[in-house]
Structure 1
Amino acid sequence: MLKPIPTATREQLILDGLWLFALDHDDAPEPWRARLDTTREAPVPASYNDVFADQEIHDHVGWVWYQRVVRVPRGWDGQRIVLRVDAATHEGVVYVDDAEVVRHVGGYTPFEADVTARVRAGDEVRITIGVNNELTNETIPPGMITVADDGRRKQGYRHDFYNYAGLARSVRLYATPLAYVDDVTVRTDIEGADGILRYDVATVGAGAVRVAVRDLDGAIVASGSGASGTLRIPDARLWGPGAGNLYGLEIHLVDGDDLVDEYVLDVGIRTVEVRGAAFLINGRPFSFRGFGKHEDSAIRGRGFDAALMVHDFALMEWTGANSFRTSHYPYAEEFLDYADRHGIVVIDETAAVGLNLGLGGGVHGRVTEPAFSPTMFSDRTQTAHAQGVRELIARDKNHPSVVMWSIANEPESVEEGAREYFVPLVELARELDPTRPLTYANEYRGTFHNDRLADLFDVICLNRYYGWYIDTGDLRTAEKKLEEELRGWGRTFGKPIIITEYGSDTMAGLHSVLTQPWSEEFQRDLLDVYHRVFDRVDEVIGEHVWNFADFQTSAGIIRVDGNRKGVFTRDRRPKEAAHLLRARWMDKARVDGDA
């Protein structure tokens, strides 16, 4: 799905701002048929939970409604007009005046509707968007709904971050010609000093396809014709870690000499390969330094904020990080655009977190029934998961920053049913994109002795908490157990290993001269222990600290105002561990040449 952009033939109207907002109510069974009966206004983009000082809204389970009246630009007469929602967490339905135009399940990927027949250029139109935050065992991510004695519906889930809901990303109207470029897929290679760009263009309506590649100075460096083809870019400037070199691929749909439609796609020339226990970008070994993150901030929840995004990237640069994982869902596409431009490497993850009955809110428990079964994570769950894989790859396939797909975080991997569940998903991902490696993030009960999934994937990603959840406070034992396990994975599989989560909860400002969990010194010392082990195990080619910044979770006795594993506080102030990482990673950046 192509992101809307302005070109010579396309325009867009971004509908960010204040929308009327109301909870779903039995007294208004069809709220889209008239003006919402409310005085509340909600910002878009933003999660709605923390915006209002209202417990009912914060805890609401079910549908909410957003509404806005929009005037369609009069210059769009005779154009195809599309309404796009960048994300609705976790289910969305859109009405234009009284008519439903699109419905979508999945909270982190875009959906859209052609509304040409329902709007008229120059006229006003009423747009109503319903958003449902319910999670069940058949959704991705999964959850469960219970009903309290007083009739209140309560949402439960196994993932350890707050279930923020609403319109957390932009809503747009955009216009294209009636014949238009519908999709583009690019794949790149390197031959000597030249870049190779293979492209496939899908169009709707009559017209021929012409393409051209421009460098940053605007000079055309390659051109061709036809809906698919291969272009050679002499002496190409490669995209790579710390080098956000991009070319502009211009796609023209033409009728003779007349331009019908234009789309311009930023492309980066680079290769990605796993060879033995090495991860190669452009033929050179790459070591991942960085973080698991969240789209999370005070008040906005998971709402996109350009200033916060830029600041987060600046802080990652300050630490010497070169990569991050979109834990545990696809981020706003603006994150990937920024990473493309600045040479930041991304592991892109689906929203499949919580497929594990042995975990709840990040804490290990007892497994009382099979996770993959007709009554829990069933064929319907797998179908929703497959949709998530398709939509992730369809949206992000052309981003050079995305070097690997992660199709799940901490699923149950030791059950017999796990393999039956995941094999079709792995096959699907490889069919959709044979160019990128695949991984999933493994939790500690899946060891190199009993894990049933690791051989299906190219890179082993491990989330490990020795010294925190296991042998809490005992860093000597943590160091011994961690090294033994990592060497076991290396011997057994011979694949690259990335530690995609490691760390400890830390209260900013809590200090101790002793080994005291929750203190800043303990977080620093724990990370230092892990780093010593990483440096001794050759197969370890990546370290992603959990987490970049403190983030909100559901309420609980071990989660006082959220998860405190950030090396930055929720308002982005550094803890002592941030300075440790900066000293280590800036030195590695100089050695690796991506500073």
Structure 2
Amino acid sequence: MDIFDIEDFDSLVYNVIKINLISGGKNVYRLFNTHNVRRVREAEGLWDFRTENGKYDGKLTVPSCWEMIPTLASYKGKAEYRRSFTLGGNVRLVFKGVSHTARVYVDGDFVSEHYNAYTEFHTDLSLSYGEHEIKVEVDNSYSEASALHVENDYYTYGGIIRPLLIEELGDGVINYVHFTTKQTSDGWSATVITEIESLSQEDATYTLRYTLDGKTYTEKNIAVPAGECVTVCREYTFDGVKDYSIEAPNLYTLCAELCCGEMVVDDLIDRVAFREIRVDGKKLLLNGKPLRLLGFNRHEDYNSLGSSVPLQAMMRDIALMKDAGANGIRTCHYPNDELFLDLCDEMGLFVWEEAHARGLEEKQMRNPNFLPQSLNCIDEMITYHYNHPSIFCWGILNECSSETEYGRYCYRTLFDRIISLDSSRPRTFASNKHFRDICFDLEEIVSANFYPGWYDFADLKAPDLMTKSLMEYAEKHESGNKPFIISEIGAGAIYGYRSETRCKWSEERQAEILDEQLSAVLANEDVTGVFIWQFADVRVDESWFSSRPKSMNNKGIVDTYRRKKLAFEVVKRHFCVK
């Protein structure tokens, strides 16, 4: 059966076609309109582009990775983008992702700087009406200034890799609306937190109006001092709404309108859902019912496109993962494009979203920039992705130094920041320190990465013993039972390489190991979830060449072009067991 014949995709394909028609076939940054009042345009298309070293001076599309240009396929360094637009009044430039450091100038004046390829940022401007030049200096090189983007088991591409939006604002602005649901004995309630910002030089009084499921909720007399932000927190009850689940991912449109007198001066539209995630002993519960997750680790990397992945390619990935029986995705090892999260919301694929960091030793975590950059990543990830019902947990610090006291201090610091921003979702991290880990008590879900039969050549019955031993160790050192997720497990294969000896890197060897691994770990009913490493092969930094044939992490069950390996059907057989 063709994967796009899956019944679930009918509404998804319809929505994608509709939004493409509305946008005139331009790049899509969300699956739905986020504003009716606020004017938003995308700054996509060709920009003037040149590299600092002079290797390229011409045009480049936004969004994209500069590695798509043959002469820049491995370029690490600085480059600049330039383009002029007709603008005026209060203007907000919204960058969905620039890899990895951006310095923004308007008409030659520096206006903002941002670090981290995978989180959104914006800058507000007050401009006279006319033509204005936007210049963005981008740097994807490694240095002491960059604590998170380091030589790693995935590649740091360069460029404006996600959409860039130009928003025209009034004097009052809705910055965000956070919608937190709670299941009650007779239905659902929700806490709604809204941040309103004044861009005016005068104090103002506003009315805030929410609309959801045909009902309107109004909050009057909200005083906002000139140039300041005010947070409004209210709780409402909702009758007759449908739960959100894997089988029925029911979504609702929440429209927030900011009114001054009778005039609507700003709005913000988002999709929300009624679902509650909580931990009860060893169980992860969705709306009070046990949830078991079967999924994949997925990098944002698509053959020659790099980390600037278009909507159609995202759909292809989700279709393949759904076809393999997955109900979960881990965004290794950074926050994902919000458009991909929209697709997961629509399809009922539950997401472990992870703040950026992988494999950092204590020395790297002592970099003075590490904690500030990590905290900022968490702030932006949660602020902008809060309402996605598909996100079931927040993750941090994959395979970092969770066996040291300083590492523990860092884990605690980052978890504390998450709790301050969102206490409604459980927290976790993927550990490879196993029986040396001293941070299991800090998280609500214990997660471990291990690769029996691949890295250690152990007896393939070892996955069961390894799982049991790790669960016992975690239980002993965390002062209580918790859900246990195998956050990485798998083996590697080079697509098309077949071997009668079933040697390492052959498709036969990968399929055999995954079959043995999944047979063992899925038989343990106390395993709350399994995320296979990984969905698709990805490019890695060349410093990893000795253990990564072709400078690729080849553990995908599909290759970088999404061609299926033998392991695909093995995983599907295990995941699709009812």
Q: Would the aligned equivalents of 2:121 and 2:380 in 1 still touch at CA under 8 Å?
A: no
Where 1:40 maps in the other structure, the secondary structure is strand
Corresponding residue number in structure 1 for 2:312 = 307
Which of 70, 74, 81 pairs up with 1:53? 70
- Partner Cα distance (1:399, 1:140) in 2: 28
Q: Distance in 2 between matches of 1:455 and 1:571?
A: 40
Q: Does 1:546 align with 2:533?
A: yes
Take 2:566 and 2:310, find their aligned partners in 1: how far apart are those partners? Answer: 26
The yes-or-no answer on 1:84 pairing with 2:94 is: yes
Is this contact kept in 1: 2:82–2:135, CA < 8 A? yes
**Could you say which residue in structure 1 is the equivalent of 2:185?**
192
Structure 2 residue 271 is the aligned partner of structure 1 residue 266: yes
Q: What's 1:214 paired with?
A: 212
Whether the aligned pair in 1 keeps the contact of 2:519 and 2:574 (CA below 8 Å) is no
Shift in Å, 1:270: 0.9
Matching residue within 438, 446, 458 for 2:427: 438
SS in 1 for 2:403: coil
User: Could you say which residue in structure 2 is the equivalent of 1:32?
Assistant: none
How many Å separate the matches in 1 of 2:35 and 2:463?
A: 55
The aligned residue for residue 135 of structure 2 is 128
Q: 1:42 aligns with which of 36, 60, 85?
A: 60
Pairs within 5 Å for 1:102-251: 102-117=112-127, 119-120=128-129, 123-137=130-144, 139-143=146-150, 157=151, 159-205=152-198, 206-215=204-213, 220-221=214-215, 223-226=217-220, 227-251=232-256
Alpha-carbon distance in structure 1 between the residues aligned to 2:367 and 2:439: 18
Offset, 1:468? 0.9
Q: Determine if contact 1:499/1:540 at 8 Å carries over to the other structure.
A: yes
- Tell me the TM-score normalised to structure 2 length: 0.86
Q: Is contact 1:440-1:461 (8 Å) kept? A: yes
Offset of 1:291 from its aligned partner?
A: 0.5
1:362 equivalent in structure 2: none
Q: How far, CA to CA, are the matches of 2:444 and 2:244 in structure 1?
A: 22
**Matching residue of 1:452:** 438
Q: Distance in 2 between matches of 1:65 and 1:138?
A: 19
- Matched residue type, 1:53: P
Check whether the contact 2:92–2:123 (CA below 8 A) recurs between aligned residues: yes
3-state DSSP class of the match of 2:99? coil
More displaced, 384-393 or 133-142?
133-142
* CA displacement 1:507-543 (0-9 Å, x = unmatched): 2223345443222222222112222222343321101
Distance in structure 2 (CA, Å) of the matches to 1:422 and 1:297: 31
Partners of 2:122 and 2:66 in 1: CA distance: 22
Q: How far apart in 2 are the matches of 1:246 and 1:111?
A: 26
Residue matched to 2:360: 355
Deviation at 1:89, TM superposition (A): 1.1
Matched, 1:290 2:295: yes
Give the distance between the partners of 1:543 and 1:203, measured in 2 at CA: 41
Q: Which amino acid aligns with 2:493?
A: T
Is the 1:9–1:176 contact (alpha carbons within 8 Å) kept by the matching residues of 2? Answer: no
Residues 435-455 of structure 1, C-alpha deviation per residue, up to 9 Å, x if partnerless?
A: 111111111xx224x211111
Counterpart residue type for residue 94 of structure 2: R
8 Å contact 1:551–1:564 — kept in the other structure?
yes
Q: CA deviation at 1:201?
A: 1.5
Distance of 1:201 and 1:99 partners within structure 2: 32
What is the aligned counterpart of 1:470 among 456, 469, 472? Answer: 456
Instruction: Give distance in 2, aligned partners of 1:378 and 1:6.
Output: 38
Tell me if 1:21 matches 2:49.
yes
Conserved 8 A contact 1:211-1:249: no
Q: 2:486: which partner in 1?
A: 499
- Per-residue Cα deviation, 1:53-74 (whole angstroms, up to 9, x for no partner): 21xx3333331111122234xx
Counterpart for residue 106 of structure 2: 96
What is the letter of the counterpart of residue 256 of structure 2? Answer: I
Q: Is the 8 A contact 1:142 1:355 kept in 2?
A: no
**Shift in Å, 1:163:** 1.9
Give, in whole Å, the separation in 2 of the partners of 1:452 and 1:525: 33
Instruction: Report the CA distance between 1:492 and its aligned residue.
Output: 5.2
SS of the residue 2:419 aligns to: helix
Query: Deviation of residue 486 (structure 1)?
Result: 4.3
Asked whether 1:411 is paired with 2:400, we answer yes
How far apart are 1:248 and its partner, in Å?
Answer: 1.6
- 1:12 equivalent to 2:37? Answer no
> What is the one-letter code of the residue matched to 1:337?
D
> What's the CA shift for 1:115?
2.2
SS in 1 for 2:376: helix
Residue 429 of structure 1: aligned partner = 418
1:291-334: CA deviations, max 9, x gaps? 00011012221113111001111111111111101101111111
| 1:564 alignment partner AA | N
SS at match of 1:248: strand
Partner of 1:559: 548
Q: Is the 8 A contact 2:537 2:554 kept in 1?
A: yes
Structure 1 residues 372 and 275: CA distance shift in structure 2, 3 A: farther
Equivalent in the alignment of 2:224? none
Task: Give the match for residue 585 of structure 1.
Answer: 575
Aligned-partner Cα distance in 2 for 1:194–1:14: 40
- Judge conservation of contact 1:20–1:38 (CA < 8 Å) in 2: no
Q: 1:137 to 1:459 in 2, by over 3 A?
A: farther
Shift of 1:479: 5.2
Contact 2:292 2:528 in 1 (8 A): yes
Q: Which amino acid aligns with 1:256?
A: G
Distance 2:142 2:474 in 1: 34
Q: C-alpha separation between the residues in 1 aligned to 2:56 and 2:560?
A: 32
Q: Is the 8 A contact 2:96 2:164 kept in 1?
A: yes
> What residue identity is the alignment partner of 1:210?
L
Which one-letter code corresponds to 1:399 in the other structure?
H
| Structure 2 unpaired stretches of 5+ | 1-28, 199-203, 221-231
Aligned Cα root-mean-square deviation (Å): 2.3
Matching residue's letter, 1:65:
E
Three-state SS of the structure 1 residue aligned to 2:538 is coil
The answer on whether the counterparts of 2:467 and 2:521 sit within 8 Å (CA) in structure 1 is no
Instruction: Determine if the alignment matches structure 1 residue 343 to structure 2 residue 358.
Output: no
- Inter-partner Cα distance in structure 2 for 1:62 and 1:513: 45
The Cα of 1:481 is off from its aligned counterpart by: 4.0
2:3 paired residue number? none
Aligned length: 528
Q: Where in structure 1 are there 5+ consecutive unaligned residues?
A: 28-36, 144-156, 357-370, 589-595
Q: Counterparts of 1:477 and 1:514 in 2: how far apart (Å)?
A: 22
Contact 1:319 1:586 in 2 (8 A): yes
SS of 2:530's partner is: strand
1:569 aligns with 2:574: no
| Distance change >3 Å, CA 91–CA 132, structure 1 → 2 | same
One-letter amino acid of the structure 1 residue matched with residue 306 of structure 2 = G
